[in-house]
Structure 1
């Protein structure tokens, strides 16, 4: 347990910087919608971040963009780069095998961070480059991680999400419903994207299924398949792709464990 209360101003500033990074170009209104902070607070955070060199006005002067200085914040963290490199040939081969793209994601504090994807070619790119942060409770990659991680870690994650005011975290405040969902994931051996998330992000055109990348040491990552709803039903996908998806996850776990 922490020995002091978190510094609220720092928390708000980091939230603003995170959303600027995610949106690529963020207006005050967009930041208000994403963070729930009042606009006066957002302006103060932006002006502070601009003073420190982490954001600047966009060329069109319609919003703010992150600067190169933000790269300094990630110099001490390279796990996602290493796992991304190890995963790339496996994902490429897997896409050629099944015809649908996949993501490999790691848990990162309060989200799943995509470290490698095969969505960067063909029509199913959807701007999901490595580094994209996906919500835990609504995505297949997040649900797969939460269902199979250590129970104590699961409780910590849920508690952390419960205090974050975000529509994507609503399930954290419905413990019975969430536990039933995760029990179903474990019983079936895979997780699916939430319909509400599919509606918001993809106009309900896409859905996804995901499995854990795990071994005797525990869960290391998660692996999904992204598919078009009008092209393949969930039942068809389970019959045709669940076996290859689990085999690929086992292969990834072996590669990650051995580092080669």
Structure 2
């Protein structure tokens, strides 16, 4: 087997479990669609997850949901919640000023995972996004920022694993790589996604993302999302980019100094 090639059955099982966990409850057909596997394969995966106790069938209907046992998979995950604690007042303040929802995301594998957002604080949103929601790294403004500020070796490692993945179209990946202008993003200090296709309302929003740093090293991406129909991307950049950069700089300062004015 080629070095670095993932085991497809495990990859598919993880995709199914992530889909169930994200949506809360899915039918067998919905699991097959969400994890992009044939229906018979989805049935075998669900039976395995049921056997392991990670999911359960809902009473009185053929839908499946995650069990509390899923939490044991995160036992060794000790991510610092200081990011959320320190960023929260800043992103809430930004949303109050501009109206649009703001989120903070970190890279987890090949995805960007939301750590916090202000969608619940804004009426200018189609959906509410909560911590744990994931976006593909090459199809999101936050992901592009993360890739641009990653070390060269780290970025190449991510792309290498994506190239050998059996779930990613190589033509799509090649196009996405060409569109990832690392030098421009670093020079301008932001990345954009003209239309967000991999969220809960595909194609209806655009995004701008800026980096957050801890002691000079990239920590997370802060993203502002707005309705495509509301304004052009160029107009949004003109109106909001300076405020976004200032907000991200304030969060970076707090992360690097233990809190506002260096307090614990």
Q: What's the TM-score bracket when you normalise by the shorter of the two chains?
A: 0.7 to 0.9
> Quick one: structure 1 residues 176 and 183, their matched pair in 2 at CA, closer, same or farther if it must change by over 3 Å?
same
| Other-structure match for 1:42 | 42
Shift of 1:185: 2.9
| Cα distance in structure 1, aligned partners of 2:63 and 2:188 | 45
1:63 corresponds to which residue? 63
* Gaps in structure 2 of 5+ consecutive residues: 260-264
Write the distance in 2 (CA, Å) between the matches of 1:57 and 1:119: 31
TM-score normalised by the chain length of structure 2: 0.85
1:94-243 matched pairs, under 5 angstroms:
94-123=94-123, 124=125, 126-166=127-167, 171-174=172-175, 177-179=178-180, 181-195=181-195, 197=197, 201-214=200-213, 217-243=216-242
Q: Equivalent residue of 2:26, what SS?
A: coil
SS of aligned partner of 1:115: strand
> How many angstroms does 1:204 deviate by?
3.0
What displacement does 1:50 show? Answer: 1.0
Q: Which residue of 1 aligns with 2:256?
A: 257
Provide the C-alpha distance between the structure 2 equivalents of 1:45 and 1:52, rounded to a whole number of angstroms.
11
Count of matched residue pairs:
257
Q: Secondary structure at the match of 1:195?
A: coil
| TM score, norm. by length of structure 1 | 0.86
Specify whether residues 113 and 12 from structure 1 end up closer, same or farther in structure 2 by C-alpha distance, changes over 3 A only. same
| 1:3 to 1:30, Cα distance in 2 relative to 1, 3 A | same
Alpha-carbon distance in 2 for matches of 1:182, 1:133: 22
Counterpart-to-counterpart distance in 2, 1:249 and 1:236: 20
Consecutive unaligned residues of structure 1, counting only runs of 5 or more, are none
SS for the counterpart of 2:119 is coil
Distance change (3 Å), C-alpha of 1:130 and 1:165: same
Tell me the distance in 1 between the aligned counterparts of 2:176 and 2:134: 23
> What displacement does 1:52 show?
1.7
For 2:11 and 2:177, the matched residues in 1 are separated by: 29
- The aligned residue for residue 72 of structure 1 is 72
Q: Relative to 1, partners in 2 of residues 1:33 and 1:223: Cα closer, same or farther, differing over 3 Å? A: same
